[in-house]
Structure 1
């Protein structure tokens, strides 16, 4: 029997990561794209909708007939003001998405956390997946909150919730100048897309899981051994090599 592709709702689909995901993986999954600003989705080869994640009723409607939610929506800036920029999308919106997904019977939510959720650890320390969030700014705190929401819904409702601590998504080329910190946290576009696709489709136990989003850099700010084992992540790039170092 031919298996139907997973029905995946992608929030924040007009962002950098969301756009890379649907451009590279629209043939693998049955995607439905959602974003507050839909102009960039006009040419997408899959259905799209406007979605304000701060609106619970809209989230509830968006999560209908969905197998997996890939929740990328949110304000992604480390310097963002909490009240004016982070509270509605990153706090209320994340809770709305998990609550709507659970109500609609969605079994898996993949949540885009951030390396900013662990920025409070010393810079010379490699952070492992089992280590708790330790943010150093309010954006990181909003992502740590999202990790907490993911854990709570997994434990209370039997969902599979995967928090992906995505680091420095960038395009590196020889001759560019970057700090050692940024190189150690680098993840290429193709690697972040592969990681998210594995989080969407890999066979993993129900419950809460944390995975790390960096490429196979010579030195990694975030360890990925447990991520490889859990979802079969196989990064292709090394930030140091791409820069000719």
Structure 2
């Protein structure tokens, strides 16, 4: 590819994607809301741009082959905040991609689009939406937007329903963990697969306790290697007995399944900010 665009490049997950994505295109344009993203990798440039402004997305995506869309509020928040960043922002990315002739949107969706399903159901990529928050609702919107733009405008998309790309430090993460290496592999396969149409795939590592089924997305070639079971003995020894009637422990969305709508879900999670520094 000549040009690849990464939104949300200043975020924790974006920090791990920047360098690998420079290997897939002549130019990687990283974008976010910060003034300066710091040291750039060879072949990378940075443009400050606001997802909620269509004209800025149009400018960033001009001449791009694909866009990897990770930019958004990464937590539950009041609806007006989610509306601007996660819903209008998604529309602006897909609409600008269509107008600029971009081939594919590779989108960071989330397990929270189906977060109210019990973990005991081992859900596939084709289950109906069942969001747990406004944040999850916005992911449902973006997935449906991707489906619409494929059906009506032939703009491909891969919606990666990421479970938890963070350190394994609680019982839920023994099933939901997505290692950074597997995250990179997932994004690369979503880019390199010759034809995707509109596709959904779960972003989860090869965990013994994974609560989701990816077999209908096998054509993408995503074959995760890491397994959270290596952390199980320590995590379980340090954990209190879990109440099986508590939706926090029973549902795919974890704490997002019980938090009051509009309030932070991450506030109830011990997510370590291990952002990569160049």
Q: Scaled by the length of structure 1, what TM-score is found?
A: 0.89
Question: After superposition, where does 1:1-245 map in structure 2 within 5 Å?
Answer: 5-29=1-25, 30-39=27-36, 41-45=37-41, 46-77=44-75, 79-83=76-80, 85-172=81-168, 177-179=169-171, 181-205=172-196, 207-227=197-217, 229-244=218-233
The verdict on how the C-alpha distance between 1:6 and 1:211 changes in structure 2, with shifts beyond 3 A counting, is farther
Larger radius of gyration: 2
Consecutive unaligned residues of structure 1, counting only runs of 5 or more, are none
Q: Deviations over 1:99-131 (max 9, x none)?
A: 000000111111111011110111211121122
CA distance in 2 between counterparts of 1:102 and 1:115 reads: 26
> How many aligned positions are there?
231
Distance 2:29 2:233 in 1: 39
Q: Distance in 2 between matches of 1:70 and 1:38?
A: 20
**1:191-225 Cα distance to aligned partner (Å, 9 max, x none):** 011101111121124x2111110000002122222
Residue 243 of structure 1 and its aligned partner are, at CA, apart by: 4.0
How far, CA to CA, are the matches of 2:142 and 2:54 in structure 1?
16
Q: In angstroms, what is the RMSD of aligned CA positions?
A: 1.5
In the aligned structure 2, how far is the partner of 1:56 from the partner of 1:17?
Answer: 24
Q: Is the 2:58–2:100 contact (alpha carbons within 8 Å) kept by the matching residues of 1? A: yes
The answer to whether the Cα contact below 8 Å between 2:174 and 2:231 also exists between their aligned partners in 1 is no
Q: Structure 2 unaligned runs (5+)?
A: 235-278
CA contact 1:117–1:135 (8 Å) conserved in 2: yes
- Determine which structure has greater relative contact order: mean sequence separation of CA pairs < 8 Å that are 6+ residues apart, divided by chain length: 2
Q: Given that residues 72 and 111 in structure 1 are in contact (C-alpha distance below 8 angstroms), is that contact kept between their aligned partners in structure 2?
A: yes
Aligned position for 2:272: none
